[in-house]
Structure 1
Amino acid sequence: MFELLRALDACHSMGIMHRDVKPHNVMINHSQRKLRLIDWGLAEFYHPGQEYNVRVASRYFKGPELLVDYQMYDYSLDLWSLGCVFASMIFRKEPFFHGHDNYDQLVRIAKVLGTEELFQYLTKYEIVLDPRFNEILGRHTKKRWERFVHAENQHLVSPESLDLLDKLLRYDHAERLTAREAMEHVYFRAIVQDHGGRIPVGAQQNNDGTKKPGSTTPSTNPT
């Protein structure tokens, strides 16, 4: 996960959204201990305030913004997809949100994150929900992540992993961690310490595309 975040941090700092983060687009060379994020066919340069096509990303990894046709999304879309991958890993449930179509996909998300929170998100961004959701969405309270822990996956779960997951899988894209912020999360403390307490170079950037103070443009290849 840390290496995947490094790849996203690098591409985001170069102004690129991957828009199709999923397990099938991650290649790992175990002998060389290298990870590569592949298939950049849906990648796009990000420009603040621009509208983008919502017909991107694979269904199980689509962010809520895509499912409600919100076109002014940003790099945080990739962090939602990464959060879905992370949830699948620690809970041993692949995929974590298993919708039968794009409408059902949002329903599956709402059953975990809650419908009240969904409507708050829609109101904040003045998004009108497709009428087809009226009959299928229902009402659901937000679930605690601990509910998904059981005997077969409890060895993969920790309070730190659940906290990281909670900060990635947010309806509101503005509330999700950036790739750099996720790398700085306590869940990865041991890895950062192995790097001498420093995170490998990559421009620190907000999800809206603005660089954070002290940021520099990296020469790292996102793959």
Structure 2
Amino acid sequence: MPGPVSSKARVYADANTVKSKEYWDYEAHVPSWSNQDDYQLVRKLGRGKYSEVFEAININSNDRVVVKILKVRIFWGISIREIKILENLRGGTNIIRLVDTVKDPVVNLAVIVYAAVFYRMLSIDILRMALMHRIVRHLIDVSIHSDGLLHPYYALGLGKKSNAIFMQISSVKPLLMYDYSLDMWSLGCMLASMIFQKEPFFHGQDNYDQLVRIAKVLGTEELFSYLNKYHIELDTRFKDLLGQQTRKRWENFVQPENQHLVSPEALDLLDKLLRYDHQQRLTAQEAMEHPYFCEPTTIQRFGVISISNKCCSISNNLFIKNHGFHKILRKKGINTCNNNQN
């Protein structure tokens, strides 16, 4: 089989060509490092593949912050890239604020300090039901893609000055090629987790099992069509692992405990995001224009009495008004006003 077929992003393929090298060349970036003694760890919040996350306090200002500490020195480049991206995006909508960068002088590891974002949990059902549309809309930031950025790992990743982005992940060779459509797949996974209340939606034990879990939902017929289209050859170990899987209907995942979160529009949006073929997935702009974000049938269940022609207003949600949640949401920076441009 010949080598993989080149694929150019449908949108913003050359976004970084108009930027200076300083904007996208994270390998040459040298952050400004502060003193690690300024921060005292309070408690562990979580961990990821490359780092551990803690709540901390700045002992000078008494401000609460969140710090991300890399686990292994070999992931240094990942931290530098994330720092560079957050510096580029500083002040942007829905972007967590980069507070500081610290380097551990003993083991020479990067520590990234973020502004603390601890939302008061009103009720998981309230957030999932009344605010799900707003949350998902905030996950789709067209401006980030238009700036030549995408989210490869657990955070935003930096697009280089080319039509596609090549990234060596751990020891995987050859270099992998991806574009903004990767973000839309991630959005689809998050949307599926939200509406079906299954987190994570595709829960593989390793890279091999992950593809098997996906194939058990999306089927193998479309997977092999995708592989043939782009001349992609799978590891021989997948031959026995994948077998022959039939594509499942999204309705199969609707249960009594999650049916209040599901609508035809939600399933249609999900179906157009979770596609094997990255060229067939919705772009961020196309997703924002999807009927899911203005579906009167579903929103009326939550007491909305006024819906604009572009979006569904949180300000008119009687459930939120009657319980005073709009005040809390405003304090947390969530706009509850009717805005036809949201």
* Common fold by TM > 0.5: yes
Aligned residues: 168
State the Cα distance separating 1:52 from its structure 2 match.
Answer: 1.6
Aligned partner of residue 139 in structure 1, secondary structure: coil
Please give the TM-score of this superposition, normalised by the length of structure 1.
0.69
2:145 match: 12
CA distance in 2, matches of 1:128, 1:175: 20
CA distance in 1, matches of 2:226, 2:235: 15
Amino acid in structure 1 at the alignment position of 2:189? C
> Within 5 A, what are the aligned runs for 1:1-223?
1-5=136-140, 8-20=141-153, 39-40=155-156, 43-53=157-167, 55=169, 71-189=176-294, 192-193=310-311, 194=313, 197-199=340-342
Moved over 6 A (4+): none
Amino acid in structure 2 at the alignment position of 1:17? L
CA distance in 2, matches of 1:163, 1:47: 34
Q: Percent identity?
A: 59
CA distance in 2, matches of 1:161, 1:47: 35
Amino acid in structure 1 at the alignment position of 2:144? C
CA distance in 2, matches of 1:81, 1:129: 21
CA distance in 1, matches of 2:283, 2:236: 32
Aligned partner of residue 72 in structure 1, secondary structure: strand
CA distance in 1, matches of 2:278, 2:256: 32
Q: For the structure 1 residues 116 and 164, does the alpha-carbon distance in structure 2 shift closer, same or farther, using more than 3 Å as the test?
A: same
Aligned partner of residue 267 in structure 2, secondary structure: helix
Superposed CA RMSD in Å reads 2.4
Please give the TM-score of this superposition, normalised by the length of structure 2.
0.46
Q: For the structure 1 residues 161 and 87, does the alpha-carbon distance in structure 2 shift closer, same or farther, using more than 3 Å as the test?
A: same
Aligned partner of residue 52 in structure 1, secondary structure: strand
CA distance in 1, matches of 2:258, 2:179: 32
- Post-superposition Cα deviations, 1:143-163, rounded to whole Å, max 9, x if no partner, equal 110000010000000000000
Amino acid in structure 2 at the alignment position of 1:156? L
CA distance in 2, matches of 1:124, 1:83: 22
Q: For the structure 1 residues 50 and 74, does the alpha-carbon distance in structure 2 shift closer, same or farther, using more than 3 Å as the test?
A: closer
State the Cα distance separating 1:132 from its structure 2 match.
Answer: 1.1
State the Cα distance separating 1:50 from its structure 2 match.
Answer: 3.8
State the Cα distance separating 1:51 from its structure 2 match.
Answer: 4.9
Amino acid in structure 2 at the alignment position of 1:125? Y
Aligned partner of residue 221 in structure 2, secondary structure: helix
- Post-superposition Cα deviations, 1:8-28, rounded to whole Å, max 9, x if no partner, equal 31210100112135xxxxxxx
- Post-superposition Cα deviations, 1:63-105, rounded to whole Å, max 9, x if no partner, equal xxxx9x8823210101101110100000000000000001100
- Post-superposition Cα deviations, 1:25-49, rounded to whole Å, max 9, x if no partner, equal xxxxxxxxxxxxxx44xx1215454
| Larger RCO (CA under 8 A, 6+ residues apart) | 1
Q: Check whether the contact 1:20–1:78 (CA below 8 A) recurs between aligned residues.
A: no
Aligned partner of residue 166 in structure 2, secondary structure: coil
Amino acid in structure 1 at the alignment position of 2:200? P
In structure 1, stretches of 5+ residues that fail to align are 22-38, 57-66, 200-223
CA distance in 2, matches of 1:119, 1:70: 21
CA distance in 1, matches of 2:175, 2:273: 18
In structure 2, stretches of 5+ residues that fail to align are 1-135, 295-306, 314-337
